[in-house]
Structure 1
Amino acid sequence: MLFDMDGTLVDSEKLWDVALQELAREYGGELSEDGRRSITGTSMAESMRILHDDLGQPERDAEISAAWINARILELFRTGLRWQPGAFALLGAVRAAGIPTALVTSSGRALVEIALDTLGRDNFDAVVCGDEVVAAKPHPEPYLTAARLLDVPIERCVAIEDSATGVASALASGAAVLAVPETPLPDTAGVHQVESLTGVDLDVLAGLLADRAGATG
């Protein structure tokens, strides 16, 4: 099992909203809704590029902005991290069944270490962070790396994602994909969408792998 973090396991996107809008206001602007949607699931460098372009300030230094965001989001994660509906129960069921599990996130290691205090370090056999891969999502490298670390063929993995960027990464890797988007994504072959993880169980996950095998067999 391959789990995305932000917006999938934990309701952290609202915290990112706070930090991004605060920085936008520091720069004398407001981040648009389209800009925020484009940022979801991207690497920090890409997020800052989108933010600067959205504000009409492409000349700003991405490293300075990223440092500001990282400092603020670390503060917010320490006090405001909450599970997404159904995520705690599903992760518990997966672990109780002894299924190898990885966390695959675009967030950096420093932030993930704080999140693991909520998620539980023992719940993951491997953790792949956005600042520990050469190519971030939507490139398939994060998910391929996770499958390699688990020593499980990617074709036998289910990836759970919430963003279009993350879904593209998981789909390109060859994993079966379960999407839990805030707003519905375009219908895509190989991607099963649900409104929340509430009610998703091991049978549902097994069915995704069976459907994938049938489609490629």
Structure 2
Amino acid sequence: MLFDMDGTLVDSEKLWDVALQELAAVYGGVLSDDARRAIVGTGMVDAMRIVHDDLGQPERDVQESADWISARILELFRTGLQWRPGALALLRAVRDAGIPTALVTSSGRSLVEVALDTLGRDSFDAVVCGDEVDAAKPHPEPYLTAARLLGVPVERCVAIEDSPTGVASALAAGAAVLAVPAEVPLAPADGVHQMESLLGADLELLAALLNR
């Protein structure tokens, strides 16, 4: 099992909204809805470029903005991280069944370490962070790396995602995909089973996705 984090396991996209709009305000602007949607599921460097371009300030230093966002989101994660509906129950069912499980996220390691206080450090056999791969989602590398670390062929893995970027990454890697949209609608796609939430997801469904 390969789980995305933001918007999939935890309802953290709202916290990202807060941090991103605060950064835009520091720079004297307001982040547009289109830019916010484009950021969902991306890595930090790409996200900051989108912010700068949207504000008409492409000359700004990407790393400076990334450091600001990272510090602010760490504060928000420590106090406001909530599970998405059905996510905790499904994760527990997967772990109770002894299924190898990885967290595959575009977030950086420092942020993930804080999130693991909520998610549980024993909930995953492997963790792949956005700043620990050469190519971030939508490139397949994060999911290919996770499958390799688990010692499981990626074709025998189910990836659970919420964003177009994440879905594209998992599909490109060759995983079966269960999509649960959070902030951004997802268009129907071959190889993707879409649900409104994880409340109806169980081990039987995951097995059926692998056997398609």
**TM-score of the superposition, structure 1-length normalised?**
0.96
Q: Distance in 1 between matches of 2:209 and 2:166?
A: 17
Q: Does 1:56 align with 2:51?
A: no
Identity %: 79
| Partner deviation per Cα, 1:56-115 (whole Å, 9 max, x = no partner) | 111111011001000000000000000000000000000000000000000000000000
Aligned position for 1:122? 122
Residue type at the aligned position of 2:200:
G
5 Å-filtered alignment, 1:47-196, equals 47-182=47-182, 183-196=184-197
Cα distance between partner residues in 2 of 1:197 and 1:186: 18
Query: Could you tell me how far apart the structure 2 residues matched to 1:143 and 1:46 are?
Result: 19
The letter of the residue matching 2:135 is A
Q: CA deviation at 1:185?
A: 1.0
In structure 2, distance between residues paired with 1:184 and 1:57: 28
Equivalence for 1:214: none
Amino acid at match of 1:8: T
d(CA) in 1 for partners of 2:26, 2:209: 45
CA drift at 1:184: 3.2
| TM-score (structure 2 length as normaliser) | 0.99
Query: Which runs of no fewer than 5 residues in structure 2 stay unpaired?
Result: none
- Root-mean-square deviation (Å): 0.6
SS of 1:198's equivalent in the other structure is helix
In 2, the alpha carbon distance for the partners of 1:205 and 1:37 equals: 28
Q: Write the distance in 2 (CA, Å) between the matches of 1:24 and 1:158.
A: 36
Provide the rounded CA distance (Å) in 1 between the counterparts of 2:99 and 2:133.
24
* 2:6 match: 6
Match of residue 29 from structure 1: 29
Match for 2:192: what amino acid? V
Matched positions, count: 211
Q: Deviations over 1:124-150 (max 9, x none)?
A: 000000000000000000000000000
Quick one: which amino acid aligns to residue 139 of structure 1?
A: H
